A = this chain, B = another copy of it.
Amino acid sequence: MKLITLLTDFGLQDGYPAIMKGVIWGIAPEVQIADLTHSIPAQDILAGALALGRAAPYFPPGTIHVAVVDPGVGTQRRAMAARIGECFFVGPDNGLCTVLLDQAAGAIQAVQLDRPRFWLPEVSHSFHGRDIFAPVAAHLATGVALDELGSPLAQGVVRLIIPQPTPLAAPGRRGWRGQVIHVDAFGNLATNFTRQHVPSTGNPCLRIAGQEICGLASTFGEGRPGDLIAMLDSAGQLSLCEVNGSAARRLTVAVGEPVELYWQD
C-alpha cells in the first residue's frame, strides 16, 4: 500500500486539496492519502518546511510527501521530485524540503520535473499542485522510477536558512540566543533550542517577552493550571507552555520572538 501525504497553504475551504486527491486517485486508485496540514500561513515556505520535518519521520519508508507552498508558481522556479533518505518529496524547488534534507540518513537523488507526459494535459499558471505535483506523485506511487520523471536537478536543490541559536556571551552566564520557530494550536511556543542546547546540570532559565522561566519540566503535570513551564516537546524542541492554557496568548508573542536560554557558568 503506497502512501502519499499532502501539505499546502491552500486551506480546506475551497476544495483545492481534494482536487489533488481526485487527480492522484485517477492515476493511482489504491494509494492512501493523508493530509499533513493545509493551514501553513500563505506563502510561508519556512513554516511548511518545518511542519514537513516534524511529520515525515513518523511515516513509513517509501511515503511520498507532496508539499505546495509556492509563491513562485508559474515563474522560472523549478519543479522537483526527490528521494530523500527513505522518503520522497514532490513540490517546488524553493526550500520546502530543507528540513527533510537536514534529517535525511541515506542517499539523496533529485530530478527537475520537465517531462509533461507525467502531468495533466493542460497546465495552469497558478495551480501546479493539481497539474504537475499530484500527477507526478501518483505516477511515482504506481512504480515509475524517479529518474523517469525528469532530468537530474542541475546545481542542487534550493535550501532555506533555518534560524539557528547563537552563543550568548555575558559575564558569569552561558547560554544561547534563539527564537520561537513554531506556535501550535494550543499556543505552545516551540523554540529552536533542542536537547543539545540544554546543559546536563544546573538550572537553566529562559527569558522571553520580559518573563523569566527557570527549570525544565518533563510533563505538563509538574505545573498547575496557568503556570508557564519550559519543557522539551514531542518534536525534541525546547518549548514554552502554559499549563491548560496558551503561552502565545499569555505572552502575546509569535514566530520570530527572541528567546534566551542561559545558566550560571
The B-contacting residues of A in range 160-187, CB under 8 angstroms, are 182, 184-186
Beta-carbon contact of A14 and B59 below 8 Å: no
Q: Which of A54, A58, A219, A221 has the most CB of B within 10 A?
A: A58
Beta-carbon contact of B219 and A22 below 8 Å: no
Q: What are the interface flags for A209-238 relative to B under an 8 Å C-beta threshold, 1 for contact and 0 otherwise?
A: 000000000111100000000010110000
Given contacts A14-B185, A22-B34, A234-B127, contact A221 B60 (CB under 8 A): no
Interface class of chain A by DSSP: loop
Q: Which of A23, A72, A234 has the most CB of B within 10 A?
A: A234
Return the chain B residue nearest A129 by Cβ.
B234
Find chain B residues with CB under 8 A from A5 CB. Answer: 18, 22
Which residue of B11, B25, B125 is within 8 Å of A218 (Cβ)?
B125
Chain A residues with CB under 8 Å of chain B are 1, 3, 5, 7, 10-16, 18-19, 21-23, 25-26, 29-30, 32-39, 42-43, 51, 54-55, 58-60, 63, 71-76, 124-127, 130-131, 182, 184-186, 218-221, 231, 233-234, 244
